[in-house]
Structure 1
Amino acid sequence: MNVDEMRDVREFRAGAPTPDRARLAEGRDRLSGAAARGRGRRLRADWRFAAVGAAAALTAVAVLAAGLGGGGRDGARRTVPAAPGSAREVLERAASAVERADPPPAPHAGQWVYEKRISADPGIWPKSAAPPEPEPEPRERWVRYADPRFENGREGDDRSLRERLRFLDELPDDPAAVLKEVRAYYPSGKGGLESEGEQDMGALHVMFKSQPMPPQALAKLYRALAAVPGVEVTDHVRDLAGRDALAVGHHEKGQVVRREILIDPNTYQYLGDRQIVVKDYKRSYPGAEDTPDRPWNAGDLMSQNALLATGVVDHKGDRP
């Protein structure tokens, strides 16, 4: 395996649930990523790849999200909770809207999924000691649809795009059954320390990034999201690209960090995700003495990811 292939493997599994034995290495991973960013690279966020709705084409399809611009990080802090009890209604409207959409062309073996995204992760240092954070820039990447490296049974919880799309096609109609299957497909790997709601959100956020997402599968994921305990919708959120969005997360007692799925309020297509701190705390890294504690304050954004474009292409390096 050459250097490019090794990088592809690392990036592909970037959003996979972390096994228990690797939790102690998290601080070192973030330090390495931050150092790499200083050499012109960007720190990878906790995800694999994202999906928005796709428009029909023969061998390529692209969805370009409007409105790249400033204010994404600041605007993401200005949130207004949706009306009480409206989360299920919002997500049912989203499911009903997307399931009527025409399905995008399905990729086949030999093709690649293109994506253009923008990500931000402030890293592990306290703000007072952190190096200057460069403005996030869009990045492009290509993922092989049928990748034998992720279909050989030796990559743990990794799945190829082909495997994930097949799984999505076979999801049941019942939202509770969907949650059960998604949790089993992507277990948390945290030794039962997470609540059920945290497990649901962790598994769902990986599945939402499967591309190209069949409309029926996307509708089932929205209905499953509505069944997560304590689900809430926050409107008037700005994503990292400055776009208006609905943030769907869940609230529970003792929650410290909230994972949210970002959805377009008009088309109900997937825009990205973010992690927001809801309670002041200090994060430590046991076993990594060279990694300093990282204090976080309520309202801090730990990570943000925004999908700008995606499509199916015939060759790596092609653009839709």
Structure 2
Amino acid sequence: MDEIGEVRRFRAEIPEFDDARLAPIHRRMRAEIAGARPRRIAACSRGRFSMVGAVASVVAVAVLSTLVLRHEDTPPAAPEPRSQPWVYQEVRWDTWQCGTGASTDGYSEVGSFNLSPASRTCRAVPAAQQRKDKWIRYDGSALATPDESTSRPDDVDVWEGNYQAGWQMLSPGGAHDLVAQLPVDPSAALNLIRARSAPTRFAGALRLTQDQRDFAEVVGVLSAAPDVPEHKARTLYDVIRKLAGATEPVQVTDGVGRNVLAVGVNGTYRDNSDERNSMQVLLDPDSFAYRGVRYVAGLDYYVGGKSSGGPFVPKGTVLATATRASTALVDRAGERP
């Protein structure tokens, strides 16, 4: 019987077996047959079945070895490179009808916000809501924004570069890894954030207190990670609540109508355009998931100074809300979930 021929009917890629390759198989076959000889005449029939089974098993071993095992001189195939996913963010901005400026860290909503009369009259009334879409490569190596020169919504401008270093902010992947390693204890969690996050302590930074800086870095982690498990979000919330000067959470509504908690940290504020206002983080009241930030006046002031005739802004006035309406992992820049 041509066992190999029968197998080749089903698997055409079975190679030809030459004498050298079959020699060890023959030796094993003879050994199997010798070991299967019956000890008594009455067991002769059973012995023949054993010999047939031995032959079949050896042939099967030979065939399987050619199908499963690699040749020693054949290098393993290199794994196909995996493309980096992108993090899609949809942000809704609600501000005044006024000249506005948001100086945010990297690709988040965290930073500072100011009002100025600029070239138009500043009024303390709501402006039309603005929607801003962006895509950040998971490793922080590129940013993409909609290409406004075309009418196709999935056309984007892609900016390559090391945005993690340039923005003083963790990449989405880096923030994800940091969140995964956060200890439960708030003090230990804050120490890890201070050690691992990209701090805003560069020359020329705003004159913030230590607690204000810690708060900004904690919110930076919340806003950068594509997804934060509920128990980790709770830990980050506990870190904020234990900061000196942490404000009492208040329930408000974000820019897409969700109920959220607004909490911040009191600090030092000066009548300077970048140092007048305070940032508060917006969190889901049940899961503490990140929902965005809002900016409120940290002191009483006039927009543009009293002599400019700009509107008076009482301390505590909400000046802008940046709502993270959606965050999702996608395969390419321009893709929306």
- TM-score, scaled to structure 2: 0.52
Which residue does the alignment assign to 1:176?
187
Matched, 1:212 2:223: no
Identity %: 22
Q: Equivalents in 2 of 1:247, 1:137: separation in Å?
A: 21
Which residue does the alignment assign to 2:79?
none
Which residue does the alignment assign to 2:168?
157
For residues 33-67 of structure 1, the C-alpha deviation after alignment (integer angstroms, 9 at most, x for no partner) is xxxxxxxxxxxxxxxxxxxxxxxxxxxxxxxxxxx
Which residue does the alignment assign to 2:327?
310
Asked whether the 8 Å contact 1:233–1:246 carries over to 2, the reply is: no
Q: Structure 1 pair 145/109, CA: closer, same or farther in 2 (3 Å)? A: farther
Q: Equivalents in 1 of 2:260, 2:293: separation in Å?
A: 10
Q: Equivalents in 1 of 2:301, 2:117: separation in Å?
A: 12
Q: Structure 1 pair 293/187, CA: closer, same or farther in 2 (3 Å)? A: farther
Q: Equivalents in 2 of 1:114, 1:153: separation in Å?
A: 16
Which residue does the alignment assign to 1:110?
84
Which residue does the alignment assign to 1:32?
none
Asked whether the 8 Å contact 1:109–1:146 carries over to 2, the reply is: no
Which residue does the alignment assign to 2:133?
140
Amino acid at match of 1:311: A
Matched, 1:268 2:268: no
Which residue does the alignment assign to 1:125?
116
Q: CA deviation at 1:306?
A: 0.7
- TM-score, scaled to structure 1: 0.54
1:37-76 aligned at under 5 Å gives the runs none
Q: CA deviation at 1:205?
A: 2.0
Q: Equivalents in 2 of 1:151, 1:182: separation in Å?
A: 21
SS of the aligned residue for 2:336 comes to: coil
Q: Equivalents in 1 of 2:266, 2:164: separation in Å?
A: 36
Amino acid at match of 1:275: Y
Asked whether the 8 Å contact 1:112–1:145 carries over to 2, the reply is: yes
Mean CA deviation greater in 108-117 or 121-130: 121-130
| Aligned pair partner of 1:240 in 233, 251, 255 | 255
SS of the aligned residue for 1:119 comes to: strand
What 5-or-longer segments of structure 1 have no aligned partner?
Answer: 1-107, 286-290
Q: CA deviation at 1:294?
A: 8.6
For residues 58-81 of structure 1, the C-alpha deviation after alignment (integer angstroms, 9 at most, x for no partner) is xxxxxxxxxxxxxxxxxxxxxxxx
Which residue does the alignment assign to 2:242?
227
SS of the aligned residue for 2:247 comes to: strand
| Aligned pair partner of 1:202 in 216, 233, 245 | 216
Amino acid at match of 1:119: W
Q: CA deviation at 1:280?
A: 0.2
Q: CA deviation at 1:228?
A: 1.0
Asked whether the 8 Å contact 1:240–1:304 carries over to 2, the reply is: yes
Q: Structure 1 pair 209/129, CA: closer, same or farther in 2 (3 Å)? A: same
* Relative contact order, higher structure (CA 8 A, sep 6+): 1
Q: Equivalents in 1 of 2:83, 2:181: separation in Å?
A: 19
Amino acid at match of 1:233: E
Mean CA deviation greater in 299-308 or 191-200: 191-200
Q: Equivalents in 2 of 1:117, 1:153: separation in Å?
A: 20
